[in-house]
Amino acid sequence: MTDQPEPNRRIVVWVASSRKDIRDMPPEVRREFGQAIDDAELGGKHPHAKPLKGIEAVEVVTDFDGDTFRAVYTVKLEGYLYVLDAFQKKSTTGRKTAVVDIDRIKRRLAAAKENHRMRTATQGTG
């Protein structure tokens, strides 16, 4: 199996615990985030997807049963979609994403960029 995407489809890479975190969410939330990731894989944009300010990433926000859930991914690394984070919002700062969550997303984005650099460097040596 190669790391080559199907035509017009990005390769999905799950960073840190993002896959497990989504799997632990209610089924309705999982379906919505799954659809958003699928849309992005194919170059589209989910209706609840919006740029995350100050970061090269997209945030999908959904509400379920009185709680707010967020998933964050980036498509800025050619040929790939890196799912950076998924969490239930617990911040008391209103609608704003908590600083601790932003910092974690930034660290994971840096890890994704390094992973992408290594993946693309090794593809040329095959």
How confident is the chain (126 residues) per 10-residue block, as mean pLDDT? 66 98 98 98 97 96 95 97 95 76 97 96 70
Distance of alpha carbon 52 from alpha carbon 7, whole angstroms:
27
Q: According to the model, what pLDDT value does residue 11 have?
A: 96
Taking a C-beta distance cutoff of 8 angstroms, is the pair 81, 40 a contact?
yes
DSSP 92: S
54-71 residues labelled b (16+ CB within 10 A) or e (exposed): ebebbbbbbeeeeeebbb
What strands, in cross-sheet order, belong to the sheet with 80-88? 11-14, 80-88, 67-74, 58-64, 49-51
Please name the residues in contact with 52: beta carbons below 8 A apart, sequence gap of 6 or more: 58, 59, 72, 97, 105
Distance of alpha carbon 113 from alpha carbon 76, whole angstroms:
9
pTM of the model: 0.89
Q: According to the model, what pLDDT value does residue 1 have?
A: 42
Cα 53 to chain centroid distance, Å, stands at: 14
